[in-house]
Structure formats: C-alpha cells, structure tokens
C-alpha cells in the first residue's frame, strides 16, 4: 500500500524530542520538570567489528531556563569539528531556524515552527545552502488535535533540477499525507506514529522515473501525474477504502475495501481488505492486519499477512511490528516518551526478509542509549534464530531540570 517506498527506518526511528516554552506562566506548577540533553556519542558500525566510526555531539545552551539547545557541535573522536548546527529563536525561545555549517559553508537551513501549547514540532522546511524557492528540498507539516495527539502529517518533496515543472506549475515531485494508526487513545500522545495509512499520495513523472519505468515513459511527459493513492475513512477514523494507480509494487488490488473488527473495549482488533465493495471477494494481495494491546490499551504488536489464493487463508507473512514505549518518568509540560520498535518485512519483489530494530536499551539516570540494528535474508533461507547486526549505538547524556 506504500508505492512511494517510505523506508521502514522512517517508521522505527520516530524519535520524539519534545519541546517547551521558557515562559514560566505556560508551565503547570505540578509538571515543571524537563530533560536537557547535553551530549551524544554516536557509534556507527561497518561490516567488521573493528570498523567503527565515532562522533561526539555537544549541545550548548544560551540561557539557564532554555529547553532548546542553541548550538550543536559535531566532533570527530579526536576533537575535530565536523559540522556545527546553530539555531535562531523567537521571543518565546522556540527555534525558528537551524543553520548547518560545514567548514565555512552553510550546507542546509531548516525553518521551524512549534505548537506553543503542546511544544510539538508543527513545521519543518529544508533548504540547500540558502532560503530560496529553487533551493527548497522538503516540507513537513504536523497537525494535532486539542489533546496533543498527532492527527496527520503532510510531506512535500521538491525536484531541484531547475528545468522541472509539474503540471501544476511548481517543482513538487512527491506530495503525501499520512494518517497515524491506530486511533489516538491506543498510541502515545505527541507525534509518535506506531503505523500509518496513506491518506493521499501523488507523484509526478521525473527524468529519473524514465530510466526505470519504460512503459510509463511511453505515455507520460516529465511533470505529468505519475502515481496516485488515497485512503478513505469513516467518521470513527477507520479505513474503509484504498485505491492506487500503480498497485503492483505491493501486489495489492487496484482498489481495496476494508472491514474493521473491534475488541471488547473498542480498540481495533482486525482489519481485513477485500477486492470488492460487498466485502465478499478475496484475491491475491488482500491483507489481514491484527492488532494487540497492553493492559493500558496501548498498541504493542501489529501483524499483517497476505491472502493465499491456493490455501484460501491469510498465511503469507508480510509485516510484523513490535513496540515497547519507554517513559523516563519526568513530571513535565513536554512529552519525552520514546518507543522501541522492531519491524520484520517480507518482500516478494526483492525476495528478501528484512528486520530493522530500534531498541532503547536504557532511558534513566541521566542516560539514554539507543541501538539500531538490521539484517536481511532470502525469503527461502530465514534461520530459526535471527541475529541482528548492530549498525549504530547512540548514548545520550541528559539532566533533569526543575524550573
């Protein structure tokens, strides 16, 4: 259902660095703590045990009550500065711009906006080198309900080839909207998305698309609409219909209709896709998603299997996601929850079984340790014991601040 191939790493690495205002009157008196990150050690691992690259990040704060760091110094193991990220603040001490400097050159500028009530990021706009329409790379916008749960995320990706124009007259090559799932009280507050549905997706044909989609190149000109996807929802927020103009990427029918079954307390338990509106026709590519929850009603496991036209059962593994939320126990006006996530994905096109894991090994006593691992095997050679390969270890140092 995700032709545009948002990498699984995007789902598993949803790190929630919550934010807050420095105005005392905005912080409830009984929740006046926050976490201030001071340093990070990032260890990246190659193919051999001795192949380790280490980077140290030092966070510098400008004022005693600042939640947000002012400068991030990225250094090599021997102390050489690799890059510097500097922020501009508004009058309430929220970041409004980030400048990435590599040597004497500004390589990237990010324009930022935050929600003053929930202290969550609401807008990120990325530019190469300087702020100008032709240098815009990506836009992200986040929308929240009145309780602070994310409702949707809009993303636009721009083509920096100066000659590219889509049929709308701009240089957007991909635009999509994600709707988080399951429903809000089954997931952590803030901008954490355990999973999502593609509410809207539209891409435009580019020069790069010509090289790998020869059939489309016979029909489309550069800038024409290439792929369209959408999911429709009922009033309760449950998916009821999905369509794609290029469903073969995920072996889905071009159109799908969904039935949703709830558990005894109203959480979604099973979503089954059908190949017709009557919900009585199953075909190749139809799926069944099963959701499991902890005692607090928060989703901890999501499993998707495809329909097997030979056995007439949903017995072809496709996706498995296991989640474990970590709470550093801070009485705060900002949200510091984070989520460990393991994703197992079987791809029939590449014939690969991929496992990606982000594990929060520790989040207490002034230290947060995050391990990122992955491995893949041919679909027909999956071992009984899966051994992940550690790719990155990030050790964050932090202090609890009481205002």
Burial classification of residue 311, based on how many CB atoms lie within 10 Å of its CB (0-12 exposed, 13-18 middle, 19 or more buried): exposed
Angle at 197 between CA 192 and CA 200, to 5 degrees: 115
Residue 121, token pair as written in the block: 């990021």
DSSP state of 295: T
Mean of the per-residue pLDDT values of the chain: 89
Instruction: Give the dihedral sign, CA 243/249/253/258.
Output: negative
In a domain, 91, yes or no: yes
Q: Per-residue pLDDT tens for 352-371?
A: 999 999 999 999 999 999 99
Q: Per-residue pLDDT tens for 285-325?
A: 899 999 999 999 999 999 999 999 999 999 999 999 999 99
In a domain, 100, yes or no: yes
In a domain, 2, yes or no: no
Q: Per-residue pLDDT tens for 72-95?
A: 999 999 999 999 999 999 999 999
Instruction: Give the dihedral sign, CA 267/273/279/283.
Output: negative
Q: For residue 26, is pLDDT > 70?
A: no
Rounded Cα gap, residues 139 and 126, in angstroms: 6
- Predicted local confidence at residue 141, as pLDDT: 98
In a domain, 3, yes or no: no
* CA 44 remoteness from chain centre: 21
In a domain, 1, yes or no: no
Q: What are phi and psi of 344, to 5 degrees?
A: -115, 125
Segment holding 219, helix H or strand E: helix 214-219
In a domain, 71, yes or no: yes
Band of the pLDDT at 14, cuts 50, 70, 90?
very low
Q: For residue 2, is pLDDT > 60?
A: no
Band of the pLDDT at 338, cuts 50, 70, 90?
very high
Range of the domain at 372: 8-402
Q: Hey, is 25 helix, strand or coil?
A: helix
Rounded Cα gap, residues 287 and 275, in angstroms: 10
Angle at 251 between CA 262 and CA 187, to 5 degrees: 35
Q: Per-residue pLDDT tens for 201-215?
A: 999 999 999 988 999
- Residue 229 or 246, more confident: 229
pTM comes to 0.87
Angle at 180 between CA 291 and CA 158, to 5 degrees: 140
Q: How many domains does the chain have?
A: 1
Q: For residue 237, is pLDDT > 90?
A: yes
Q: Hey, is 386 helix, strand or coil?
A: coil
Q: Strands 338-347, 33-45: parallel, antiparallel or unpaired by DSSP? A: unpaired
In 3D, which of 201, 191, 227 has the Cα closest to residue 118?
191
């Amino acid at each position: 259902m995700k032709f545009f191939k948002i990498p699984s790493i995007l789902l598993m690495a949803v790190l929630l660095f919550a934010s807050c205002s420095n105005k005392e009157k905005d912080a409830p008196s009984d929740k006046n703590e926050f976490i201030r990150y001071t340093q990070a050690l990032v260890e990246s691992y190659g193919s051999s045990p001795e192949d380790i690259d280490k980077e140290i990040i030092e966070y510098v704060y400008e004022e005693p009550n600042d939640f947000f760091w002012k400068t991030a110094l990225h250094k090599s193991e021997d102390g050489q500065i690799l890059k510097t990220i500097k922020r501009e603040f508004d009058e309430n001490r929220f970041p409004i711009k980030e400048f990435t400097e590599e040597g004497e050159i500004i390589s990237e500028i990010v324009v930022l906006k935050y929600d003053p009530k929930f202290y969550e990021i609401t807008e990120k706009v990325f530019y190469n080198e300087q702020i100008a329409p032709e240098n815009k790379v990506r836009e992200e916008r986040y929308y929240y309900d009145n309780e602070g749960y994310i409702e949707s995320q809009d993303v636009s990706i721009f083509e920096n080839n100066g000659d590219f124009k889509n049929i709308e007259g701009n240089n957007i090559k991909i635009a999509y909207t994600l709707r988080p799932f399951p429903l809000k009280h089954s997931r952590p507050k803030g901008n954490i998305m355990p999973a999502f549905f593609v509410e809207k997706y539209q891409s435009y044909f580019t020069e790069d698309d010509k090289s790998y989609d020869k059939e489309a190149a016979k029909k489309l000109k550069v800038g024409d609409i290439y792929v369209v996807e959408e999911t429709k929802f009922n009033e309760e927020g449950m998916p009821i219909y999905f369509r794609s103009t290029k469903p073969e990427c995920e072996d889905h029918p071009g159109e799908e209709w969904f039935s949703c079954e709830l558990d005894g307390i109203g959480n979604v338990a099973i979503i089954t896709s059908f190949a017709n509106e009557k919900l009585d026709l199953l075909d190749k590519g139809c799926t069944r998603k099963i959701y499991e929850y902890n005692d607090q009603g928060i989703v901890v496991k999501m499993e998707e299997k495809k329909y097997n036209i030979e056995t007439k059962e949903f017995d072809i593994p496709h996706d498995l996601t296991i989640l474990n939320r970590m709470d550093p126990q801070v009485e705060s006006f900002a949200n510091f929850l984070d989520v460990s996530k393991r994703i197992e994905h079987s791809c029939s096109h590449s014939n690969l079984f991929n496992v990606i894991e982000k594990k929060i090994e520790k989040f207490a006593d002034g230290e947060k340790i995050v391990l990122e691992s992955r491995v893949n095997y041919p679909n027909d050679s999956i071992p009984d014991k899966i051994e992940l390969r550690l790719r990155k270890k990030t050790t964050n140092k932090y202090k609890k601040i009481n205002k």
